Amino acid sequence: MIALMIAGAVATAVSLVGTRFTILFFRNRGKGQPILGPEDRGPQHQHKAGTPTMGGIAIIVGAATGYVVAHFREGLVFSNQALVLFFAVFIMAFLGFLDDYIKVKASRNRGIFWKKKGYITFGMSVGLGWLLVTVTDVSRTVSFTRATQPGWHLPWWAWTIYAGAIIFATTNAVNVTDGLDGLAAGSASFGFLAFAIIAYWAFRNPAYYSSVINPLDLAAVAIAFAGACAGFLWYNAAPARIFMGDVGALGIGAALALLALTTDAQLLLPLICLINVIEIGSVFLQMAVFKASGRKKRLFRLSPIHHHFEMLGWPETTVIIRFWMIAAVGVAAALAIYLADFTRLQGKS
């Protein structure tokens, strides 16, 4: 437990300082986030144009630092699954960094990967799924709370595609959510705390969760990311002084997806990331209705759905806090399912 506290505290401190440094770095160079205008049917957020971006770098550096420093505490050892997770985060974050850099450099909101980004991200996601199943002993089952529930075992190639789809969907969902000050970072904090509880519970009850390799190390990963998101949120809360950018959204999404895969809780991920599911779902529904109507009708005034509520007159802070509440409800429901299954098994023993 002390190692987890170290991971969270160090990650928060490094992220807090790193975010402040990133703000000064971009502000002194006069570089900031370009914002979509009315001509692109974007939200009325032009007042945010020029706000420093790429704050996600501080989140990832903070989480990695907290995770490493926690291992100075005797009893916590590095696991290959956690190392693959960080490799995946770095790879996805680097893709996001390239897109952010091009946007800032060219002073336009659409990066060079705008139309091809989905294909590139999916290919990378499948590759990361293959890496995870090849170099680690990750359980190749479809699971809610443990490897035997429901326990559908997949061949390596099918699990690779399955894992890739989860990574791809989660990274894009977090990226879509990152549209209001603090929304993505705050909701992600809830998700990482949920995985920290799940992983630590698996560590304390190995008979229940025997398929998870070194769950204490995975708990350190999760709590480090939770702390790093909290440190970043100090400056990202409305009105934001910095945005996380694609570098942060893609990195955070990859971390959430890999934690779900390595803790055998993939089917709980839609609840743990409930607000992200709602956000990406609203985009899908908007596009489906728009195309089905011959490009004449839209289901929402603007998607993702957080912009729809803004256009209904909700203040930005109201949308953010209410969406955080939805995210918290999803996390609470996921943990309730997890603990209920554990309690049920304990009652049978």
DSSP for 316-335 reads HHHHHHHHHHHHHHHHHHHH
Query: With 0-12 CB in 10 A as exposed, 13-18 as middle and 19+ as buried, what is 315?
Result: exposed
Residue 183 identity: L
| Averaged pLDDT for residues 169-182 | 93
**Residue 61 contacts residue 18 (beta carbons within 8 Å):** yes
Total Cβ atoms within 10 A of residue 80: 15
Count the domains in the chain: 1
Task: Name the DSSP letter for residue 142.
Answer: E
3-state SS, residue 114: coil
Structural domain contains residue 183: yes
| Among 251, 211, 271, residue whose Cα is nearest residue 91 | 251
Looking at the chain, the whole-number percentage of residues with pLDDT higher than 70 is: 89
Structural domain contains residue 44: yes
| Averaged pLDDT for residues 115-126 | 86
Strand ranges for the chain from DSSP E: 141-146, 149-153
**For the stretch 216-249, what's the b/e string if a residue is b when 16 or more beta carbons lie within 10 angstroms of its beta carbon?**
bbbbbbbbbbbbbbbbbbebbeeebbbbbbbbbb
Structural domain contains residue 196: yes
How far is 31 from 22, CA to CA, in rounded Å?
Answer: 11
pLDDT on residue 107: 65
Which of the two residues, 345 and 2, has the higher pLDDT score? 2
Out of 43-57, 181-195, 198-212, 296-310, pick the least confident.
43-57
Structural domain contains residue 114: yes
Residue 113 identity: F
Structural domain contains residue 347: no
Looking at the chain, the whole-number percentage of residues with pLDDT higher than 90 is: 61
Full domain range(s) for residue 103: 2-268
Structural domain contains residue 142: yes
How far is 236 from 229, CA to CA, in rounded Å?
Answer: 10
Structure tokens at 303: 């998607």
Structure tokens at 324: 């955080």
Residue partners of 66: CB distance under 8 A and separation at least 6: 6, 7, 8, 9, 10, 11, 12, 14, 223, 224, 227, 228
Using alpha carbons, list the distances in angstroms from residue 296 to 12, 41, 278: 47, 14, 23
Chain position carrying tokens 């955070």: 252
Structural domain contains residue 299: no
Residue partners of 290: CB distance under 8 A and separation at least 6: 296, 297, 298, 299
3-state SS, residue 153: strand
Out of 50-54, 63-67, 126-130, 287-291, pick the least confident.
50-54
Bridge partners, residue 54, by sequence: none
Which of the two residues, 40 and 90, has the higher pLDDT score? 90
pLDDT on residue 41: 54
pLDDT on residue 112: 54
Structural domain contains residue 56: yes
